[in-house]
A and B are shown apart, each in its own frame.
Chain A
Amino acid sequence: MHSSSVKSFFEFIRKAWPLLPATLYLTGFQIIVFVYLLGLSLSDPAAGVEFPSIQPFLNLFADSRFQSALLNTLLFTVVGTPLELLAGLLLAFMLYQSFTMRGVVRSIFLIPLAIPALVTAMLLYILFDFPGGHINHLLAGNYWSLPAIISEPINWRGSQFFSMGISLMGKIWRDMPISMLILLTGLNSIDPELFDAAKTMGASLFKRIFAIVIPLIIPSISAVVLLRSVEMWKEFIFPFVLAGRYNLLGTLIDFFYNELGNSNRAAAVAIVMVICIVVTTLVLLKVMELLQRVLLRRG
C-alpha cells in the first residue's frame, strides 16, 4: 500500500517535474500570505497582545476610522456594482446591432481598459482640481454659454461624498469594457430568431428586452455582478489618489501600515476585507440561485 503510492509519487515527479518550480512558487507565496496575515492580525505587540488573540480584531472594530472605512466600502460596492452593470449593458446593447463601423467602435470602447488605472486616477486628479479644474469651470458655466450648475467651485477631494463619487466614476469608467465584453458574449448567444418570433406575436421593443433578452443573459449578468462587486471591495488605486483623506478598506491598510507603521492592524483589515469578499460572493451566489428558480417557476 504505502510503497506503491510512494512509487507513483516518484513517477509523478519524474514526468511532471517542470511543473514544480511554478507550483512551489505560487504555493509558497500563498502559504506566506496566510501565515503572515494570521500571525500579524492575531497579535499586537505594540499593545502588548500576544499571539494568538482576537483582541486586535475587537480593537479594530472599535476604531471609528475602521467603521467608517467599512461603511464607505460597503456603500462603494452597493452603489458601484449596479452602475457598472448598467454601463456595461448600455455599451453591449449598442454594439449588439451590426453596423458598418462596429469593429472600430468596439475597439474604441475598449480604450479605458488599456489605460493604466493610475493614469486614469491621475487624470481625474487633474480634471477635478480645486479651485480651478476643468470640471469646476464646466459646471460654473464658463464654456460656450452652457448653464451654470454651481456658483462656487467644488472641493472634490475635500469632501467625502464627492471624493468617493469621483473614485467610483473613475473605477467604473476604467472597468466598464470588461462588463461590456461579458454581457456582449451573453447577448451574442441568443438566437436572433427568438426576436422575430416575439415580434410576430405582438411584442413591443420594451417587452422583447425585458421578457426575452434580460432573462436569457442572466448568467452573464450574474458573472458581472459577482466579479465587479469583488473588485469594488478590494479597490485601492482610485481612492488612494482621489480620496486620500477618507478611507476605504484598501486605503485603510495603507494608512495603518505606511503611516502608522502598524502592520498588525493593517493585516487585520486585510483579513476583514477577504471575509467581506467571501461573504458577498456566497450571498450573491445564493441570490442568483433563488432568482433562477423564481424565473422558471412563474407560469
Chain B
Amino acid sequence: MISATPKRIPMTSGKKVIWTTGIILAVLIVTVPVYLLVKYSISDIKSINTGGKPIPWWPFEPTMQAFLYLFRDHHFYQVLLNSVIVAFSTVVLSLILGVPAAYILGRYKIPGRKLLLLGIISVRLFPDIASVIPVVEFFIHIGAHQTYWGVILAHTLLALPYVIFIGIGAFESIPADLEQQAWVMGAGTGQTFFRILLPLATPGLAAAAIYTFLLSWDEFIFAYFLMLGNQEIFTLTLYLNGIKYAEPQNLLAAISVCLSVPVIIFSLMVQRYMIAGISTGSVK
C-alpha cells in the first residue's frame, strides 16, 4: 500500500510542539554562528572593542571597512593569489594522476582491483597530523620545504583518493555500448578515451575538481607545517592563523568570510552529489 506522502507520521499536538521547538532550536544553533561571523566581518571597531559594554547583536554602525582594508592590502592579494595557485595546481596535478587511474579502475577488471581500491582508501585513514612530520622531513631533504611545490604535492596526496573514487563513479556509469560502438567504427583505445569517455565523464570529474579545489583552499595542517617560515607563500588559512593574535576581530572575521565564500557556493552544488553517494542504500 503506497501512502500519499512518504513517512508522514501523525503526531499528537504535544509531540508536534516538542518537535517544532527542536527544529527551530537546531536551525538556530546551526545558523546563528554563521550570522555572527558575518556580523563581525561588517562590524565597526566600536562594536568590537566596546570597553566593557555588551557587544551588540547588530553592529552600531555596520561597515565594509574590514573588507575594504583587505582588498586594498596588496599583501592580502598575494596571499589570495598563493591560495589560488596552490589550489589550482593541486587540481591539475590530481586530475593528471587521478583521471587515468580512475579510467582503468572504472572500466577494466584487473587482478587485485579490490585490494588496490582498499589501499587507496586507507591512505586517507592515516591521520594528517601524523603523516605531516615525515612529509616535511622528506621535503626538507629534497628541497621542497617552504615552496609552492611542497604544498601542492602534499595537497595532491590528500585529494588523489577522492579524485580516483569520484572518477571511478563517473567512468563506471558510461554504458559499455558506447565504447564498443567506437571500436566498431575503428577508433583506437586512445581516441575512444579522449573523444568519447572523457567528455562523458566530465560532469563527475568536474565535481572531483571542485572538491579538490576546496580541499586545498581550506587545508591548514599541511600548509602550516610546510610553509612556516616563508611568509611570501602563505595561503589564506596560514595568513589567518598568523594574524589571529594581532589583528582586530572584524578583520579576522572578514578573512574568514573570504575563506568560506567559495566553499559555501560550491558546497551547495557538490552537496547534492555527495548526499547521493552517502545515502544510496536506503532501500526497504
Interface residues of A (CB under 8 A from B): 12, 15-16, 18-19, 21-23, 25-27, 29-30, 32-37, 40, 90-91, 94, 96-98, 105, 107-120, 122-123, 125-127, 129, 132-134, 137, 142-143, 173, 181-182, 184-185, 188-192, 195, 205, 230, 233-234, 236-237, 241, 250, 253-254, 257-258, 263, 266-267, 270-271, 273-274, 277
Contacts and interface: CB of A to CB of B under 8 A. Distances in A.
A250 B210 CA distance: 28
Task: Classify chain B: how many residues form its interface, as a range.
Answer: 35 or more
A250 B221 CA distance: 10
Contact of B267 (A96, A114, A137): A114
A33 to B, nearest CB: 4
Q: Which 7 A-B residue pairs are closest in the complex by CB-CB distance? A: A18-B100, A36-B134, A234-B127, A142-B54, A22-B101, A188-B282, A114-B267
B170 interface: no
9 contacts: A15-B108, A18-B101, A22-B101, A26-B119, A98-B9, A108-B31, A118-B240, A189-B282, A189-B284
B109 to A, nearest CB: 10
A32 B123 CA distance: 12
B133 A111 contact: no
Given A15-B104, A257-B133, A271-B130, 18 more contacts: A16-B104, A16-B108, A18-B101, A19-B110, A21-B96, A22-B100, A32-B134, A94-B19, A97-B11, A97-B19, A116-B260, A122-B256, A125-B244, A132-B55, A134-B55, A173-B33, A181-B279, A234-B128
Given A97-B7, A185-B282, A188-B282, A116 B218 contact: yes
B176 interface: no
Given A18-B104, A258-B228, A123 B54 contact: no
Which of A15, A25, A105 has its CB near the most chain B CB atoms (within 10 A)?
Answer: A25
Contact of B133 (A21, A25, A37, A117): A37
Nearest to A271: B130
B22 A133 contact: no
Interface string B115-150: 010011001011111111111111000000000000
B123 to A, nearest CB: 5
A23 B79 CA distance: 32
B135 A32 contact: yes
Contact of A21 (B101, B105, B127, B237): B101
Interface in B1-53: 5-9, 11, 15, 19, 22-23, 26-27, 29-31, 33-34, 36-37, 40, 49-50, 52
Nearest to A98: B7
B6 A98 contact: yes
A119 B36 CA distance: 12
Contacts, number: 234
A23 B101 contact: yes
B249 A126 contact: yes
A37 B130 CA distance: 9
A274 B130 contact: yes
Contacts of A125: 244, 252
A118 B263 CA distance: 13
B97 interface: yes
A237 B221 contact: yes
Interface stretch (B153-161, B180-188, B200-208): B153-161
A244 B27 CA distance: 30
Which of B133, B160, B281 has its CB near the most chain A CB atoms (within 10 A)?
Answer: B133
A91 B26 contact: yes
Given A37-B130, A40-B133, A253-B130, A115 B264 contact: yes
A36 B138 contact: yes
A119 B249 contact: no
B253 to A, nearest CB: 7
Contacts of A27: 119
A33 B135 contact: yes
B7 A36 contact: no
A220 to B, nearest CB: 10
Contacts of A23: 101, 116
A237 B222 CA distance: 11
